[in-house]
A and B are shown apart, each in its own frame.
Chain A
Amino acid sequence: MKCIVYCILVLLSFITITSCNSDGDSCDPDLICTTVSIDSNWVNLSITEQLSGVPIALYNGNLEDNLIVLRDTLYGDSYDYYLPTGIRYTAEAYYRSGPNIIIAVDSKKLTTESFTNCDDTCYESDEITLDLVLIE
């Protein structure tokens, strides 16, 4: 019975610690704050390099939406595109493997988040990597 109580206490502590957010009244004057809304950021495509190049297609939303942002052929193992935030991007890479074609797919949302610091609204956005590298 004691063990169950300990388990529940550990679980509750973990939930409490992980759910803590800084409140809106906090102020850190040394914090670098971008007050202009971030409307674009980098989308990195990571691929398995092939000598003949790897055709890729980048979509807005899911593949079924068929909203193509761009098509390209990549000759390195990664490439960056500067694209609008607030959108889910899905990428396809087409690899030749003997008689087969392997189509690798990955998808992520490019987000912008805002928070308040010293009465300023600060914006931050993390670039994303779409991992189209083949399974070894």
Chain B
Amino acid sequence: MIRVFCFLIFSLYNTVPYAQELDSADTTKTKFKLNIVPTISTGIHVNLQDFYLDFGAGAFEPKSKIGVQLSCSFRPFYKKVQIHQQANIIRQWKEKKYLVSVDLYKRILKFHLSQSLNSSFLAGAKSGYLFGDYLGTRERPKAGLTINPFLGFSIWLNGMNLDVTYLLFNDRLASVPNSRLMFALNIPIIP
């Protein structure tokens, strides 16, 4: 799965210089002007065993099609997890987890799904600090920095982007697969 993901990222990013070359033909003569659109987003990332809610706010630069946002993701319930504590002792805790992340993404290769539906591919990464707590103890899950790449597509729905992406999310649980689907509504705030 990881190899397929890396191949897709590699394939998509190989096309990026070409896309920028086309753009730059028009823009090299004009003076560079940074145009930043504020965005808010909400979504979930989910697999068959787990899900997180996700909220964020940030900015998007339409010319380079690069966006960045500060996000907060969390599991809204306590999930049973089993952790090896010592050689023959396994603890079954009820765990809640949170991720505070900076999400960096780029929309690439605009295409049309239909006459009215504009779409593009989307690639990026959620990089941040993952932490959590267990019920009934002061012990906590191992916290730390994680980098979680995502890749998928985005559909422009008359005022907002619906992003559907595959997310490789390492939540440090052996019992939960790292593969997730992420659905997000990304709303540009245009006055």
**A interface residues with partner B (beta carbon < 8 Å):** 1-4, 7, 59, 62-64, 90-91, 97, 99-108, 131-132, 134-135
A91 to B136, CA, bound (A): 8
Give min CB distance, B135 to chain A, whole Å: 4
Q: Is the CB of B187 within 8 A of A107?
A: no
* A105 engages B138 (CB within 8 Å): no
Question: CB-CB < 8 A to A105: which residues of B?
Answer: 91-94, 134-137
Is A101 within 8 A of B88, CB to CB?
yes
Q: B89 in the interface, Cβ–Cβ < 8 Å?
A: yes
The main secondary structure of chain A at its interface with chain B is strand
Known contacts A100-B89, A103-B89, A105-B91; decide if A62 and B136 are in contact (CB<8 Å): yes
Q: How far is the CA of A102 from the CA of B88 in the complex (A)?
A: 8
Question: Which of chain B's residues have a CB closer than 8 A to the CB of A7?
Answer: 187
Contacts A4-B187, A135-B175 given: A102-B92 contact, CB under 8 Å?
yes
A38 to B80, CA, bound (A): 31
21 contacts between A and B (CB under 8 A): A1-B190, A3-B160, A4-B159, A59-B136, A63-B136, A90-B136, A97-B90, A100-B88, A100-B90, A102-B91, A103-B91, A104-B80, A105-B91, A105-B134, A105-B137, A106-B135, A107-B94, A107-B137, A132-B92, A135-B80, A135-B92
CB of A116, distance to nearest CB on chain B (Å): 32
Chain B residues bordering chain A, tally (CB within 8 A): 25
Question: Which of A2, A64, A134, A135 is close to B137, meaning CB atoms less than 8 Å apart?
Answer: A64
Chain B residues near A99 (CB, 8 Å)?
Answer: 88
- Residues of the B chain whose Cβ atoms lie less than 8 Å from the Cβ of A64: 137-139
Indicate if the CB atoms of B94 and A2 lie closer than 8 Å.
no
Q: Does B189 contact A (CB under 8 A)?
A: yes
Within 8 A of A (CB), among B110-150: 134-139
CB contact between B92 and one of A3, A4, A108, A134 (< 8 Å): that residue: A134
**CB-based contact A4/B89 at 8 Å:** no
- B72 nearest CB across to chain A (Å): 16
Q: How far is the CA of A69 from the CA of B112 in the complex (A)?
A: 65
Query: Residues of A contacting B85 with CB < 8 Å?
Result: 103
A2-B159, A4-B189 known; A107 and B89 CB under 8 Å? Answer: no
What 14 additional pairs, Cβ within 8 angstroms, besides A3-B187, A107-B137?
Answer: A1-B191, A90-B137, A91-B136, A99-B88, A100-B88, A100-B90, A101-B90, A104-B92, A105-B93, A106-B94, A106-B136, A107-B135, A131-B80, A135-B92
